[in-house]
Amino acid sequence: MNTLKIDKITVKVNDKIILKNFSLTIKSGEIHAIMGPNGTGKSTLTKVIMGDPNYQITKGAITFNDKKINDLKVYERARLGIFLGMQMPMEIEGVSNADFLRTALRSQNENFKLYSFIKELDSQIDKLKMDKDMIHRGINEGFSGGERKKNEILQMHLLKPKVVMLDEIDSGLDVDSLKIVGNSVMEYYEKEKPAILLVTHYQRLLDYIKPNYVHIMSDGKIVKSGDASLAKQIEKEGYDKIKETSTKVQEEIK
Ligand code: ADP
Ligand code: MG
């Protein structure tokens, strides 16, 4: 059992506070979906968990299995098994997808076997319906938005993380690709039982990846948590109504 605990963190970027006193605990086998309007800090949350140096924690702690990881570098967190599929995956020329994955796996596992690596890579590329020759191209070089998202999922399958964060993995995907990606994430979930943190705007992704918890974020905080039905309610009513009622509840508490 792995536990990622975000304990009352305040996060700043360029002297602007984005997350305020933010808490969330995610365990193996749990799927948490985070929804919320643009600019509320959803990507910031995933980046600060991954250790992006542009995002500073000024208060609070992030722990992984009770060990504080606030000061660990991105690669150290990756080695612990934390993974981020980014909202906008970057293009890295000159490093092929295959070299990148092989190097990452070799550094993670001293019993790395080239033959099983190639076999698994081929099988996942087939399942994700990706172009076979992309594996020898530079990372995301000339890839469409949807191909980049599939490439993030391919990396997830090979690196086998314990905590999977997917930031708007559905954006840029056509309906067929959305189904492939959604089912692929669920297949990984069934096999490895990771903790999953899913950022999305749309209920349609949650038709494939079924969350145990749905959290609505607004202005750097979780304003409401519920089960999968909360996402359906958002789809029908939008965020404003939720914000209105949660503000009312907060005022009543005061
Ligand atoms: P979301 O993913 O919920 O749409 P983000 O976490 O990307 O929101 O952004 C939250 C806020 O933080 C936005 O106002 C955004 O402009 C700001 N922000 C995020 N990253 C940076 C950055 N590197 N530099 C300056 N402002 C940033
Ligand atoms: Mg975002």
For the domain that residue 238 is a member of, what is the CATH number?
3.40.50.300
Token pair of 1 as six digits: 């059992």
Q: Which of 42, 44, 221 to mutate to test the pocket of ligand 1 (most atoms within 8 A of CB)?
A: 44
Separation of CA 117 and ligand 1 centre (Å): 37
- Mean pLDDT along residues 66-91: 95
Q: Is 33 in the pocket of ligand 1 (CB under 6 A)?
A: no
Q: Is the pLDDT of residue 240 over 90?
A: no
144 lies in some domain? no
C-alpha atoms less than 13 angstroms from C-alpha of 161 in its C-beta half-sphere: 29
85 lies in some domain? yes
131 lies in some domain? no
Q: What is the pLDDT of residues 34-51, one digit of tens each?
A: 999 999 999 999 999 999
When divided into structural domains, the chain yields a total of: 1
Atom of ligand 1 nearest to the CA of 54: 23
What Å distances lie between residue 131 and 40, 148, 164, 175, CA to CA? 35, 12, 24, 18
50 lies in some domain? yes
Question: Over the chain, what is the mean pLDDT?
Answer: 92
Give the residue, by CA position, lying nearest to ligand 1 atom 19: 44
Q: Give pLDDT, residue 254.
A: 47
Nearest ligand to the C-alpha atom of residue 38: 1
Separation of CA 48 and ligand 2 centre (Å): 13
- Which percentage of the chain shows pLDDT scores above 70? 95
110 lies in some domain? no
Q: Give pLDDT, residue 54.
A: 96
Q: Is 40 in the pocket of ligand 1 (CB under 6 A)?
A: yes
101 lies in some domain? no
User: Which segment of 4-8, 98-102, 242-246 scores lowest on mean pLDDT?
Assistant: 242-246
Q: Is 17 in the pocket of ligand 1 (CB under 6 A)?
A: no
Separation of CA 39 and ligand 1 centre (Å): 6
Q: Give pLDDT, residue 249.
A: 52
Separation of CA 168 and ligand 2 centre (Å): 7
The parent domain of residue 247 ranges over 3-91+162-253
Q: Give pLDDT, residue 147.
A: 92
Q: What is the pLDDT of residues 85-122, one digit of tens each?
A: 998 899 999 999 999 999 999 988 888 999 999 999 99
What Å distances lie between residue 149 and 64, 85, 181, 187, 214, CA to CA? 26, 8, 8, 16, 22
Q: Is 184 in the pocket of ligand 1 (CB under 6 A)?
A: no
Q: Give pLDDT, residue 239.
A: 84
Q: Give pLDDT, residue 48.
A: 98
Q: Is 88 in the pocket of ligand 1 (CB under 6 A)?
A: no
Q: What is the pLDDT of residues 161-196, one digit of tens each?
A: 999 999 999 998 999 999 999 999 999 999 999 999
Q: Is the pLDDT of residue 248 over 60?
A: no
Q: What is the pLDDT of residues 126-159, one digit of tens each?
A: 999 999 988 899 999 989 899 999 999 999 999 9
125 lies in some domain? no
230 lies in some domain? yes
Q: Is the pLDDT of residue 253 over 80?
A: no
